[in-house]
Amino acid sequence: MAVGRLRLKQRGYDFPPYRPPSEAYSLLLRVTRGCPWNKCLFCSMYKGIPFERRSLEEIKGDIEAAAHLYGEMARWAFIGDSNSLVVKTDLLLEILRYLYESFPHLERVTSYARAKTIAKKDLNELKELRRAGLVRLHVGLETGDAKTLNFIKKGATPEEMIEGGLKAKEAGFELSLYILLGIGGQQRWREHADGTGEVLNKIDPHFIRVRTLIPQPGSALFEMKNKGEFILPPPDLILEEERRIIASLEVTSQFLSDHISNYLPLNGKMPQDKNALLHSLDQELLRLRQDPSLLERYRRKELLRHL
Ligand code: SF4
């Protein structure tokens, strides 16, 4: 559904500022504002937004405004901002009930969530949310390397990532895990790749989605990069890193590189497409060795903003 932002804005509708690429056609509903953690070194998304929970009245007002315009059209909905599961379960259940009631053709509702929040939430409450129509959780793993997770202040260990991921699956959610190529820097790219492969193998999420680190102004990592305290791996090393992760995978996930930050689009079902994915990466690495101007073109992605 192409949601007419302008017409909703005119009605005072409050949009979440970020959503996953796969939610491009979803109705976007803001349940909280900002990120309750807001400490990750690489993240600038919610830096100027104090965290707050929106009132049920405000949220229902937005649902009613959207239903008035798109009630018969909406099939998918995404609730933001960064970690909607921090909201009390009863309130989330009421929001889900109202969403499905207001949009009679709604098929799925999805949300961002932190692995640690999932790990802390009661399993029966998670199951209730799943039954109420919260279908998929988008979770930032970034890396499975303990030292890198600690360095980037992700606020979760590999063990907590695994606990949260497995619990989400046990509750019946589709789980989409995001990994961040380059986040180990030049120094820990191998450890980052190996740790990430290990955690992914233990969780076996439904989707593995790849993004490439492009430090953004406003993030601590951007400053560190400018001072030479963090060295971003060059594009060929990033592709080597991605190859190393895929080579280590023993999962049944859909593997997707579908974000504008990435050097090579990939989409394959594991394990049957593993060799094809590796072959695509080998071909791209060969092209890079044969054509240095390609490396320069790739480097221009470092200028991308508002990711
Ligand atoms: S990466 Fe996610 S958890 Fe970390 S600060 Fe950004 S929004 Fe919050």
DSSP annotation string for 64-93: HHHHHHHTTT--EEEEESS-GGGS-HHHHH
> Which residue do the tokens 């939610």 mark?
23
- Counting from 1 in the atom list of ligand 1, the atom nearest the Cα of 142 is 1
Tell me the C-alpha distance between 225 and 63, whole Å. 42
**pLDDT tens digit at each of 307 positions of the chain:** 555 677 888 878 899 999 998 899 999 999 999 999 999 999 999 998 999 999 999 999 999 999 999 899 999 999 999 999 999 999 999 999 999 999 999 999 999 999 999 999 999 999 999 999 999 999 999 999 999 999 999 999 999 999 999 999 999 999 999 999 999 999 999 999 999 999 999 999 999 999 999 999 999 999 999 999 999 999 999 999 999 999 999 999 999 998 999 999 999 999 999 999 999 999 999 999 999 888 888 888 887 877 7
pLDDT digits (tens, 9 = 90+) for 104-150: 999 999 999 999 999 999 999 999 999 999 999 999 999 999 999 99
In this prediction, residue 3 carries a pLDDT of: 59
The whole-number pLDDT of residue 21 equals 86
> Which tens digit of pLDDT belongs to each residue from 195-208?
999 999 999 999 99
- Atom 2 of ligand 1, residue of closest alpha carbon: 82
Ligand 1 pocket: which of 38, 39, 41 to mutate (most atoms <8 Å of CB)? 38
Nearest CA-CA partner of 245 in 294, 178, 304, 165:
178
Ordered structural domains, the chain, with CATH: 10-301 (3.20.20.70)
Instruction: Looking at the CA of residue 35, tell me the nearest atom of ligand 1.
Output: 8
Ligand 1 pocket member 261 (CB < 6 A): no
Is residue 140 within 6 Å of ligand 1 at its C-beta? yes
pLDDT in the model for residue 136: 98
CB of 216 within 6 A of ligand 1: the answer is: no
List the structure tokens of 240: 């080597």
Strands (E) located in 202-287:
207-212, 254-257, 266-269
Best substitution site from 44, 49, 82 to test ligand 1's pocket, by max atoms within 8 Å of Cβ? 82
> Which percentage of the chain shows pLDDT scores above 70?
98
Pocket-testing residue among 33, 46, 137, 149, ligand 1, by greatest number of atoms within 8 A of Cβ: 46
Identify the pLDDT of residue 200: 98
* Cβ atoms 224, 232 nearer than 8 A: no
With a 6 A CB cut-off, is 35 part of the ligand 1 pocket?
A: yes
What pLDDT does residue 286 have? 96
Tell which one of 37, 42, 179 to mutate to probe ligand 1, the residue whose CB is within 8 A of the most ligand atoms.
37
| Residue nearest atom 5 in ligand 1 by C-alpha distance | 38
Amino acid letter for position 105: H
Atom of ligand 1 nearest to the CA of 82: 7
